[in-house]
A and B are shown apart, each in its own frame.
Chain A
Amino acid sequence: MSDSKETEYWRWTESRWTNPDLDWKDGDIISAGVDVGSVSTQSVIMVDGELYCYSNRRTGSNSPDSANNAMTWALEGTGLKLENIQYSVGTGYGRVNVPFANRALTEIACHARGANFMYGPSIRTVLDMGGQDCKAIRCDHRGKVTAFLMNDKCAAGTGRGMEVFADILQVHINDVGKMSIVEDEPEPVSSTCVVFAKSEAVGLLRKGYTKERVLAAYCSAMAHRVVTLLERLGVENDFAITGGITKNIGVVSRIEKELGVTAPEPKVDPQLAGAIGAALFGKALVEKARKKG
């Protein structure tokens, strides 16, 4: 009898990391940010505004458990305990359900702050393509939001949409972006609606499209949809992308082409932006409280 384990094409890799060059015991302000998203949860711990450790895992059906699990995994092997963290900020879809959080902050403010940390103070426009929503954010050199626009009523152009396509076409989610880069660019799919994704994909395959061209058609439609969101807000250079879809070169390259801008390469996992911003706000709130005396 053969071992027929069904391949989970949509399953991306969970990860954790500890900074080998920092000792939390030497730090003054230890703050944490936990971004409980609809698809993934990140827990980031910072020591005096520097990345100390983090974890990135799939969000379960229970938000408090997801927050606790992400935090436990992030702290693993560091010797740092929850009690040592002076301020924790919850953000994301499940932000009010982070049991140990001192405060819950909207992910819009956190993503702008996170992008400012990850890509630098020249960033003025941030596009967050998350698990279930897309946000366009304008910010200043400090990462403070000056305008925002979000669409969380539609899953097209989000991680959830990508997972559905990866599964339908039996392509691993990590390969979707690379595979979608083709020589002759097809027309974008007519309906980005994830509900109709299967019929769209089957229709194109029947027309003789290869898997690669189907992915190209979908990534192209996704990119266009996101560009209209951005153009409504106005894009000011420098432009940066956060969220899981940043790892999809098929969508990113098409967005850059349509807007005529280049987004900087992330040096840190772009899914961490919300949690990084939250941890930085935690530090700022500790400093604010200290000033008040």
Chain B
Amino acid sequence: MKANYGYKDGSGEFYITIDTDLCDGCGKCVAACPEKVLEVTEDEIDPLADDLVARVTDAHRKKIKYSCAPCKPTGQPSNLPCVNACEPVAIAHSW
């Protein structure tokens, strides 16, 4: 299941996509993120499942452009710690 966390506003589209079919809940992305954007919880989109998956926290969901800015200072895709930490390649950034 592809969960797109983020928003579109006047300055662009900012979504972090987590593929929960690939995510194994290992938590390495949570540790890698310097801004605490991510967390591992019960899959809220599939209430009947028991596995844990990563998601963007509610605190950051509507401001990820700013939360993620320290890792992409020029605004261009670069070596993002969360993406690098994820072995199953479950995380993607739209900008």
Answer yes or no: do A and B interact: yes
Binding site for B on A (CB under 8 A): 103, 105-106, 108-109, 144-154, 229, 232-233, 281, 284-285, 288
Tell me the interface secondary structure of chain A in the complex: mixed
CA distance A253 to B13 in the complex (A): 26
Q: Whole-angstrom distance between the alpha carbons of A281 and B46 in the complex?
A: 10
Could you tell me the distance in whole angstroms from the C-beta of B42 to the nearest C-beta in chain A?
Answer: 11
Given A108-B45, A109-B44, A154-B9, A147 and B1 contact (CB-CB distance below 8 Å): yes
User: In the complex, what residue of chain A is closest to B43 when comparing beta carbons?
Assistant: A109
- Chain B residue, CB-CB nearest to A104: B44
Task: Check A285/B7 contact, CB under 8 A, given A145-B1, A147-B2, A152-B62.
Answer: no
The answer on a CB contact under 8 Å between B48 and A153 is: no
A153 touches B46 (CB 8 A): no
The tally of residues in B whose CB lies under 8 Å from a CB in A reads 15
Q: How many A-B contacts are there with CB distance less than 8 Å?
A: 49
Assuming the contacts A106-B45, A109-B47, A281-B47, asked whether A153 and B62 have C-beta atoms less than 8 A apart, the reply is yes
For chain B residues 50-65, which have a beta carbon within 8 Å of chain A?
Answer: 62
Contacts of B3 in A (CB 8 A): 147-148
Task: Identify which of A145, A147, A153 contacts B8 (C-beta below 8 A).
Answer: A153
Partner of A148, one of B7, B13, B45: B45
- B9–A153 touching, CB < 8 Å: yes
Q: Nearest Cβ distance between residue A218 and chain B, in whole angstroms?
A: 18
Contact partner, A285, options B1, B2, B45, B48, Cβ 8 Å: B48
Q: Does B67 contact A (CB under 8 A)?
A: no
A97 CB → nearest B CB, Å: 15
